[in-house]
Amino acid sequence: MKYLIRSLFIFMLMVVNISFSGKCAPPITHNWTHFRGSNLDGEAIADNLPISWNDSINIAWKTAIHGKGWSSPVVFGNQVWVTTADKQGEKMYGVCTDLTTGEILQNILLFEPETIQSIHDVNSYATPTPCIEEGFVYFHFGKYGTVCLNSQTGKKVWERTDLQCTHVQGPGSSPILYGNMLILHYEGDDVQFIVALDKKTGTTLWETHRPADLYEPLAPIGRKAYITPIVMNVNGKELLISNGSAVCIAYDVHTGEEVWRVVQGEDSTISMPFQWDGKVYFYTSFYTKPDESKTAELLAVNPDGTGDITETHVLWRHEGPILQLLTPIIKDGLIYTIDSRNIMHCIDAQTGEIIWEQRLRGRFNGSLVSADGMIYCSSTTGSVFVVGEGRTFQLLSENKLDGDIWATPAVVDNSLLIRTSKYLYRIANQ
């Protein structure tokens, strides 16, 4: 009898452990709804992601995308959406492909601007990444227009073309969804403002302008910015964190009212903020040091403050070269980033200490993503470096695709979606 009881006890323990493990296992990432994912953090839950591939190995499908666009893929259900435009910016499109097959399902002409501003050589007229939720997809082309479509039918729900600024080098900020809002950044050399639209109707819910006293002293070319914001909860208050060229400001996301600011910078921010363990991190735009050299900094900030917190709440600073383009990844208290000199850094998020540094070949505009214990780093030459997470640098592979890579990968259903200048690829272990 005692052996029977013991066997039953062991069996019950096994059942409990299996059930407990099942409840705790995080779900595989199935949707990727924004630039840098559904949580705007570049992280995905995946299993058995590919480490090595080329244009013929571990390619589930590849689909040619017409025109030119640096927007990243977003995914909901079986739909993958990107934007594209012709080289002159005269026609702007939304393109939907089937996640399973790569077949193009919809190719929708969204805007035909009457007047077109010039762009920087490294930009495109379709750089902002769309965002998507069940039933609706939202496209943003900066001053050229913002539009919401029914994602199943492709029919237009609403559009706005009245929100204007002079981007100087082309639009770059991606839209984000939060609650009932679609939040957009317009930061040109003439005006700098943030607007929240009702996502169902497109009507303005609130609009707030950057502080004129901080921007007027800057050269007009220095007032522009291309960042995408995040929302973080600080002591029960939801803050929109937005690092413009002259200042990083936390706004009440529901009203647009300023809560705090960190002042620093002279010209152009591109990398978006990120958060970990109750702290917010962001790159400043560049500024001029007393010796006349120019630099930018990565700042760690305690966001529990009000007013100007520049002197009181900055926890540490990490100096680096100007023109920081990509957004870092933070995992398990380690920040992974690549600067404009192509040096990859691993930084302790608590202290700012550099754990390791390693130069990589190429230039890196697409932001980093992480999944399955790996960091994926996409270069403009079409190579993707796969680096192992941890306090020691581990280059696991370097993989080349056809075309340049300016977009940021998406990770869904244990596969990578990578957009090059020629194709949209789905990469999975075959």
Assess if residue 42 is contained within a domain. Answer: yes
CB neighbourhood size of 24 (10 A): 7
Q: How far is CA 270 from the centre of its chain?
A: 10
Assess if residue 391 is contained within a domain. Answer: yes
Cβ within 8 Å of residue 32, ≥6 positions away? 38, 44, 73, 74, 75, 410, 411, 412, 417
Report the C-alpha gap between 232 and 100 in whole angstroms: 34
Report the C-alpha gap between 120 and 186 in whole angstroms: 17
Average pLDDT on 342-366 reads 96
Token pair in block for residue 406 = 């300016």
User: Is the pLDDT reported for residue 3 higher than 80?
Assistant: no
Q: Number of C-alpha atoms within 13 angstroms, CB side, residue 58?
A: 18
Count of domains for the chain? 1
Token pair in block for residue 145 = 């227009």
CB neighbourhood size of 129 (10 A): 29
Assess if residue 86 is contained within a domain. Answer: yes
Which residue has 């007032």 as its token pair? 223
Report the C-alpha gap between 263 and 185 in whole angstroms: 18
Token pair in block for residue 327 = 């957004």
Average pLDDT on 94-99 reads 98
Choose the weakest-confidence range: 11-25, 228-242, 265-279, 407-421: 11-25
Average pLDDT on 220-241 reads 95
Q: What percent of the chain has pLDDT above 70?
A: 94
What residues are paired with 241 via a beta bridge? 230, 250
Assess if residue 262 is contained within a domain. Answer: yes
Phi, psi of 194 (to 5 degrees): -120, 140
CB neighbourhood size of 47 (10 A): 9
- Domain range for 82 is 29-427
pLDDT: is 268 or 258 the higher one? 258
Phi, psi of 294 (to 5 degrees): -115, 140
Cβ within 8 Å of residue 228, ≥6 positions away? 35, 36, 40, 129, 173, 174, 175, 176, 185, 272
Assess if residue 277 is contained within a domain. Answer: yes
CATH code for the domain of 269: 2.130.10.10
Assess if residue 3 is contained within a domain. Answer: no
User: Is the pLDDT reported for residue 13 higher than 60?
Assistant: no
Q: What percent of the chain has pLDDT above 90?
A: 89
Assess if residue 10 is contained within a domain. Answer: no
- What pLDDT, on a 0 to 100 scale, did the predictor assign at position 24? 58
Average pLDDT on 414-419 reads 97
Assess if residue 73 is contained within a domain. Answer: yes
- What pLDDT, on a 0 to 100 scale, did the predictor assign at position 122? 87
- pTM, entire model: 0.93
Question: What is the tens place of the pLDDT at every residue in 103-114?
Answer: 999 999 999 999
- What pLDDT, on a 0 to 100 scale, did the predictor assign at position 26? 78
- What pLDDT, on a 0 to 100 scale, did the predictor assign at position 25? 64
Average pLDDT on 44-62 reads 94
Q: How far is CA 94 from the centre of its chain?
A: 19
Question: What is the tens place of the pLDDT at every residue in 127-138?
Answer: 999 999 999 999
Average pLDDT on 83-88 reads 95
Q: How confident is the model at residue 357 (pLDDT cuts 50, 70, 90)?
A: very high
Choose the weakest-confidence range: 7-21, 166-180, 317-331: 7-21
